[in-house]
A and B are shown apart, each in its own frame.
Chain A
Amino acid sequence: MAKSDVKLIGAWPSPFVLRAQIALNLKSVEYEFLEEALGSKSELLLKSNPVHKKMPVLLHHDKPICESLIIVEYIQEVWASSGPSILPSDPYERAIARFWAAYVDEKWFPAMKGILGAQDDEARKAAVAQVAEGLALLEEAFQKISKGKSFFGGDHIGYLDIAFGGFLGWLRVIEGMGGIKLLNETETPGLLKWADDFAAHPAVKDVLPDTEKLAEFSKVVIAKLRAAAAAPAK
């Protein structure tokens, strides 16, 4: 397959773009990465995702696929015969993976954003507590789902590893900011080890953003989140 058949519109700091990159790497798909300039949206992005105007967008033979987890499922379905399956074969196990991925997106990620956008220490503490609560649930899920193996997907990185792992860089930035160990030996021993294994995986290590670089970039994100929160009420 020619490289230009598969393009990914994205940007290096985005945890959602990272999900798509990892999935493509797992399937050994050659693709062209179309890096968006931060702070502006390209014509191609606006044309390919007119509804949300967001990245990532996967372009396959010029047809756009949007929404990171939908992209991951698409990648698995198109390149099913390449590499290990991203989703388990059993429908119940697939449901568990999808359930927790939805949890990460709908409950856990907003709490993470809450830490970054917190206006004061009290708000930050509350958000950190929420994130920690979520991690406790995910630790329990990891223990059950991994069945003693390295990843949520077992021996191989799977859908839930990708969904959650996309946020690993940001998790580390937040730990650095607050001097807190959200992943630690006492509360999340499984996830602590998982994080290292995930970060070291060949499909991940070259695309996981450098924590220091991300920390520098986070200042822009924090400013934006705080400005949005402080915007005058209608």
Chain B
Amino acid sequence: MAEVKLFRTWSSPFALRIVWALKFKDVPYDTIFEDLANKSPSLLQYNPVHKKVPVLVHNGKSVSESFVILEYIEETWKHNPFLSEDPYDRATARFWAKFGDEKVLPSILEAFMSEGKEQEEGIVKAKENLKYLEEELKGKKFFGGERIGFADIALGWLADYEGVFQEVTSIKLIAEDEFPLLSEWKRTFADAPIIKENWPPRDKLVTKFQGYREANLLKKLGT
């Protein structure tokens, strides 16, 4: 029987993508939870280059980097595909996934980790990026169309972690009037059966991200 292991942390949004993908495909797997302050020898052996999670190990062979893992899962277990067969649609999905990690996530994190004027400017930037996502959702239920697809899985962290940020900072990034489509997507995605069952515990996430924010603000004071 094929053996699948997933190295992850309980809070990593990148690892969560892989949980969703494996569950969508009905792939049984074992989870190894890592403490990033104390990485296991296995993790270091399976991902020597980056020493990060998530790492997927399939029949003893390791795959790292969440988008690389998602493509591997898609190509290895071909049922319930999350990429279209059409090359243009595939390119579009990959584009928005990349945009999410390279622009949306960093800009939201920056706004989250700052305060005052810096935070105000950060929020403007984050919303500029969110506007592109809002436009992309026109006429669609999900980024993948009628069904959850690759881009939804890639951007899905937004559907819950944005709420975490709001609880810590009291700032609502995705307001209903400003981002009606994105707001609706958040609700629909977060409520989908596999997604709903796998969000990390909200209170723990709030505590953790509050910690990150405070540590980062302290660091900034020191410079």
Complex Cα gap A103–B67 (Å):
12
* Residue numbers in A under 8 Å from B91 (CB-CB): 65, 70-71, 73-74
* Residue numbers in A under 8 Å from B64 (CB-CB): 99
* Residue numbers in A under 8 Å from B90 (CB-CB): 73-74, 77
* Residue numbers in B under 8 Å from A91 (CB-CB): 72, 75-76
Q: Which of B94-102, B186-194, B207-215 contacts A (4 or more CB under 8 A)?
A: B94-102
Question: Could you give, for residues 41-85 of chain A, a 1 whenever the CB lies within 8 Å of some chain B CB and a 0 otherwise?
Answer: 000000000010000000010010111001101100110000000
Q: Is the CB of B132 within 8 A of A51?
A: yes
Q: How many A-B residue pairs have CB under 8 A?
A: 55
Complex Cα gap A190–B31 (Å):
38
- Tell me whether chain A's interface is mostly helix, strand or loop, or mixed: helix
Complex Cα gap A60–B86 (Å):
13
Does chain B have a CB within 8 A of A126?
no
The residue from B69, B75, B98 contacting A67, defined by CB atoms under 8 A apart: B98
Q: B residues 44-70 with Cβ under 8 Å of A?
A: 49, 58, 61, 63-65, 67-69
Q: Is the CB of B65 within 8 A of A66?
A: no
If A73-B90, A74-B91, A98-B71 are given as contacts, then 12 extra A-B residue pairs at C-beta distance below 8 Å, sorted by A number, are: A63-B88, A66-B95, A67-B95, A71-B91, A74-B88, A78-B87, A92-B63, A94-B71, A94-B72, A98-B65, A98-B68, A99-B65
List chain B positions with a Cβ less than 8 A from chain A.
49, 58, 61, 63-65, 67-69, 71-72, 75-76, 87-88, 90-91, 94-95, 98-99, 118, 132
| Of listed B58, B71, B118, residue having the most chain A CB within 10 A | B71
Complex Cα gap A92–B75 (Å):
9
Closest 6 CB pairs of A and B: A77-B87, A91-B75, A95-B72, A74-B91, A98-B68, A95-B63
- Tell me whether chain B's interface is mostly helix, strand or loop, or mixed: helix
Complex Cα gap A70–B90 (Å):
9
* Residue numbers in B under 8 Å from A223 (CB-CB): none
* Residue numbers in B under 8 Å from A66 (CB-CB): 95
* Residue numbers in B under 8 Å from A92 (CB-CB): 58, 61, 63, 72
Complex Cα gap A92–B73 (Å):
10
* Residue numbers in B under 8 Å from A99 (CB-CB): 63-65, 68
User: Whole-angstrom distance from the CB of A54 to the nearest CB of chain B?
Assistant: 12
Complex Cα gap A91–B71 (Å):
8
Question: Could you give, for residues 144-164 of chain A, a 1 whenever the CB lies within 8 Å of some chain B CB and a 0 otherwise?
Answer: 000000000000000000000
User: Whole-angstrom distance from the CB of A19 to the nearest CB of chain B?
Assistant: 14
